[in-house]
Amino acid sequence: MARLSEDNVRIALEIIGRYPRAKSATIPLLHLAQQQDGFVTNEAMAHIGELVGTTSAEVLGTATFYEMFKFEPVGKYLVNICGTMSCALLGAEALMHHAEHTLGIKAGSTTPDGLFTLEHAECQAACTEAPTLQVNYRYRFRVTNETFDQLIDDLRNGRLGDEIPAHGTVAKIRQRIPADRGVGAVAPEDVTEPPAWMPAPQAQGSTS
Amino acid sequence: MDAGTASAGEHVVTTSATTYSYTPGFYAGDRPRIVTSRFEYEDSHTIERFLATDGYVGLKAALAKPAPAVHEDVKAATVLGRGGAGFPAGTKWGLTPPGVFPRYLVVNGDESEPGTYKDRLLMERDPHQLIEGCLIACYAAGLSQCFLYIRGEMAVAQERVAQALNDAYAAGYIGKNILGTDFSLDIVLHWGAGAYVVGEETALIESLEGNRGMPRLKPPYFPAAIGLYGQPTIVNNVETLANLPWLMRHGVEAYTAIGTATSPGTRMMAVSGHVKRPGVFEVINGSTTFRDLIFGEEFAGGMRDGATLKAFVPGGGSAPWFVEDQLDLPLEGRAVGAAGSMVGSGAVMVMDDTTDIPAAALTLTAFYAHESCGKCAPCREGGTWLMRILERIVAGHGTSRDLDQLIQVGQTICPGNFPHASSERLGLTAVPFPYKMTTICFVGPSAYTPVHSALTLFRDEFEARLMKRTFIPVTAVSEPATADSTSLTAASMAGTVHS
């Protein structure tokens, strides 16, 4: 519940090092903070500001633009039911009603046990598999009332722990650039020459 | 691991076309395949499978030529941008000002247009092909770093691409002195956090710089001139880049032999909604028609339950709607544009005669109203107005002024004649695409598009809504909906048709 841990600072510095400008790492670091605490804390935002060289207000400004960042605790499982056109055509509205009944909460709220948060979501890019939902950004396709109840039951009983991490973790695999292979980021002002593989007299003919 | 396996059993279909349970919704069919050629392998995302199936051969072919020659090839093949605007990639690369370095490549994998999904499959099923495409593009256009921006909600795509990047670095395909040449490149995986507008290229750049994803005013400066960190930047769609390895392996002639002269190659199309077999298909560009896509046995197979076609959205949620009069149009930018819509991002959403048109339009308008970034007043205010008025009409509280009000609000976002389809039934002639707009990007106009299309083609349904108050869901229920409010309960809606 706080600033980024020592391990996470190490990951953060690795991420920052990939960009010509540190501020570009803001969104990846916000994800890192959310992974650590389940939501983005004020302390983490201040810490990210220090790491990327901006103010905490700027970090907050960026963070609040994006739907995925939460600023107060949400359920361990964030259930996003898609309601955009293709899903709506195939029963998303009914599925949402069913979900509200099953979980006993309205969309936009969290169950008292802190396990589930139910949200209306927008197009999840799985339109042919309507209606769809995501639990912590893991898909479930062609969801029926029965498969929804089964899913909730599985999550409640911890049967999907391997596939679906707790809220905050999106991808379980991180990019790692090996030190001996990476080219390294260079600030744009430090580059004036064309890259090594481009033919040197590049002035005529190559642009249109 | 694979998000698809959970409900894989439901996707077995009994037709001649192949389907693979690990790529739900994808149907290969008996057609040329440029970008989906590895989808039949369960392990298509691994470097082993990739290398065993001509992986990185296109890169080697490209590196054997001088960079400008590769650029010329891409220009000659007229590889059209697949993100929506359909601008030729080779021409776009050529718009960078000469002598200004460094230049960057930003890969737009922030796919979130309603109805569209192809980039997600390409990233999940064949991440190395995308990486190879990025390498070829950077080599050809002299771009010194590549940022691969993946939509935040696509966890599996992010994992697959991260793994692929790690493997490709280890194998020497990315990084310093690739394959022993003096071509060196870093590809950085970057991911978003949920904002539709970031799919717009200047907003994508803002987001990549760590800011709120709000589009930049253009013209005068397009990203190719002043983009990421103020440097020349090429923004290309995932599918566009995925075409390049095949093009390098097989040559320009083989590429242009598929499709038509103005729209060569193939393109991915997702057909969803009230069809028998919703799916993603790699289709021949330029010549395949909407009738093929919706009714063809090898494609969506016609309307579900013997229903009839009411309307369809031809190119993602922001495209004006078509009706049966436009079924025989080919997937060709100019033809579709003249008919009043756009091919856009390759998504067809089909509505049958049970569809409640005002409610369907509301789902799209609500999407765009919600996704407005707030930079331009006509979109920020207008989108929400449109949504509120539509909500009122759909809920049965509309007044006789509301329909005119919708048009009025729409006119502040898109002044003048708004594009729409022709209709024999209504005696309408088409107004060609595009529209005029008072906003920087297309999000504002997109909020109005479904309203305008629905209102132009199905005004009677709106008028009926003003006269009579009924509660029906977006689509048909198995029993006739009743007019009393109890029909909104889950129990009565459980009969909603699911397939």
pLDDT tens digits for range B141-165: 999 999 999 999 999 999 999 999 9
Task: Write out the CATH class of domain B35-256.
Answer: alpha beta
Question: Would you call B21 an interface residue with chain A, using a CB distance cutoff of 8 Å?
Answer: no
Q: What is the DSSP string of B289-330?
A: BHHHHHH-TTTT-SBGGG--EEEEESSSTTSPPB-GGGTT-B
* CA–CA distance, B168 with B172 (Å, rounded to integer): 6
A161 confidence band (pLDDT: 50, 70, 90): confident
Q: Given this model, what pLDDT does residue B346 score?
A: 87
Q: Looking at the complex, does the CB of residue A201 fall below 8 Å from at least one CB of chain B?
A: no
Closest CA relative to residue B251, chosen from B69, B105, B485, B384: B69
Q: Residue B467: its pLDDT value, please?
A: 81
Pick among B103, B158, B299 to test the A interface (most A CBs inside 10 A): B158
Q: Concatenated DSSP letters for B128-184?
A: HHHHHHHHHHHHHHT--EEEEEE-TT-HHHHHHHHHHHHHHHHTTSSBSSGGGSS--
The ipTM of this complex is 0.94
pLDDT digits (tens, 9 = 90+) for A81-113: 999 999 999 999 999 999 999 999 999 999 999
CB of B151 within 8 Å of any CB in chain A? Answer: yes
The answer to whether the Cβ–Cβ distance between B117 and A84 falls below 8 Å is no
Query: Regarding beta strands B279-284 and B266-273, do their DSSP bridges make them parallel or antiparallel, or are they unpaired?
Result: antiparallel
Determine the residue of chain B that is closest to A100 in CA distance. B490
Determine the pLDDT at residue B299: 93
How distant is the Cα of B194 from the closest Cα of chain A, in angstroms?
Answer: 5
Partner residue facing A128 (CB), from B25, B119, B231: B25
Q: What is the pLDDT of residue B17?
A: 42
Percent of chain B with pLDDT over 90: 79
- The model's confidence at residue B27, banded by pLDDT at 50, 70 and 90, is confident
Name the residue among A108, A109, A114 with its Cα closest to residue A155.
Answer: A114
Q: What percent of chain B has pLDDT over 70?
A: 90
- Give the lowest-confidence range in B26-30, B113-117, B351-355, B425-429: B26-30
Q: Read off the pLDDT band of B20 (50, 70, 90).
A: low
Q: What is the pLDDT of residue B491?
A: 39
Q: Smallest Cβ distance to A140: which of B6, B66, B370?
A: B6
Domain range list for chain B: 35-256, 266-352, 357-468
Q: How confident is the model at residue B459 (pLDDT cuts 50, 70, 90)?
A: very high
Cβ contact B445:B318 at 8 Å:
yes
The whole-angstrom separation of Cα A9 and Cα A51 is: 9
Please give the CATH architecture assigned to the domain spanning A6-63: Orthogonal Bundle (1.10)
Q: d(Cα B169, Cα B166) in Å, to the nearest integer?
A: 5
Distance CA B32, CA B240 (A): 17
Q: Write the pLDDT tens digit of every residue in B47-94.
A: 999 999 999 999 999 999 999 999 999 999 999 998 878 899 999 999
Integer CA distances (angstroms), B324 to A19, A75, B159, B229, B309, in order: 50, 46, 41, 47, 7
One-letter amino acid for residue B481 of the chain = A
The alpha carbon of residue B499 is apart from the nearest alpha carbon of chain A, in Å, by 7
The per-residue pLDDT for range B162-171, each reduced to its tens digit, is 999 999 999 9
pLDDT score for B468:
72
CB proximity A118 to B under 8 Å: no
Cross-strand bridge partners of residue B267: B283
Same fold, A6-63 and A77-156: no
Confirm or reject CATH 3.40.50.300 for domain B266-352, answering yes or no: no
CB A12 within 8 A of CB A50: no
Amino acid type, A41: T
What tokens appear for A113 in the block?
Answer: 């046990």
- Given a contact cutoff of 8 angstroms between Cβ atoms, the answer to whether B326 and B420 are in contact is no
* Residues A77-156, CATH architecture: 3-Layer(aba) Sandwich (3.40)
CA atoms within a 13 Å half-sphere pointing along the CA-CB vector of B124: 26
| pLDDT higher at A177 or B84 | A177
Residue B390, both tokens: 């539509």
pLDDT, tens digit (0-9, with 9 covering 90-100), for B203-253: 999 999 999 999 999 888 899 999 999 999 999 999 999 999 999 999 999
Q: Which of B379, B452, B367 is nearest to B416 (CA)?
A: B452
Q: Does the pLDDT value for residue B6 go beyond 80? A: no
- Nearest by Cα to B269 from B350, B334, B215: B350
| A200/A87: higher pLDDT | A87
pLDDT of B300 > 50? The answer is yes
Q: pLDDT by residue (tens digit) across A38-88?
A: 999 999 999 999 999 999 999 999 999 999 999 999 999 999 999 999 999
Backbone angles phi, psi at B497, to 5 degrees: -70, 130
Contacting residues of A for B301, CB less than 8 Å apart: none
pLDDT for B29:
82
**pLDDT-based confidence at residue B496 (cuts at 50, 70, 90):** very low
Question: What angle is formed at CA B286 by the lines to CA B321 and CA B135, rounded to 5 degrees?
Answer: 105
| In chain A, % of residues over pLDDT 70 | 95
Gap between the Cα atoms of A128 and A118, Å rounded: 22
Confidence of residue B471 (pLDDT cuts 50, 70, 90): low
Which one of B101, B139, B152 has the shortest CB-CB distance to A191? B101
Question: SS3 for B440?
Answer: coil
Q: Which residues of B touch A52 (CB under 8 A)?
A: 210
- Tokens (6 digits) for B80: 């059209």
| Domain ranges (residues) in chain A | 6-63, 77-156
Mean predicted lDDT score pLDDT of chain B:
89
**Å between B175 CA and nearest CA of chain A:** 5
Q: Is the pLDDT reported for residue A208 higher than 70? A: no
User: Which residues 247-286 of chain B have a CB within 8 Å of chain A?
Assistant: 270-274, 278-280
- What interhelical angle do A42-52 and A56-63 show, nearest 10? 110
Contact B152, A166 (CB under 8 A): no
Find chain B residues with C-beta within 8 A of A57's C-beta. none
**pLDDT category of residue B28 using cuts at 50, 70 and 90:** confident
Q: Could you tell me the pLDDT band of residue B372, with boundaries at 50, 70 and 90?
A: very high
In this structure, whether the domain defined by B357-468 belongs to CATH 1.20.1250.20 is answered with no
Give φ, ψ of B404 to 5 degrees: -65, -35
| Interior/surface letters B354-371, b for 16+ CB within 10 angstroms, e for the rest | bbbbbbbbbbbbbbbbbb
> Which H/E stretch holds residue B272?
strand B266-273
CB atoms within 10 A of CB A192: 10
pLDDT of residue A201: 54
**Cα–Cα distance for residue pair B127/B131, rounded to 1 Å:** 6
Report yes or no: A47 and A63 within 8 Å, Cβ to Cβ: no
Q: In what order do the strands lie in the sheet with B279-284?
A: B279-284, B266-273, B347-352, B309-313
φ/ψ (deg, to 5) at B423: -145, 120
Does B182 touch chain A if contact means CB atoms closer than 8 Å?
yes
> Are B417 and B332 a contacting pair, CB within 8 Å?
no
Q: Nearest CA to B476 among B362, B353, B354, B349?
A: B354
Q: How many residues does chain A have?
A: 208
Determine the average pLDDT of the residues in B393-420.
93
Q: Which residues of B touch A186 (CB under 8 A)?
A: 102, 144
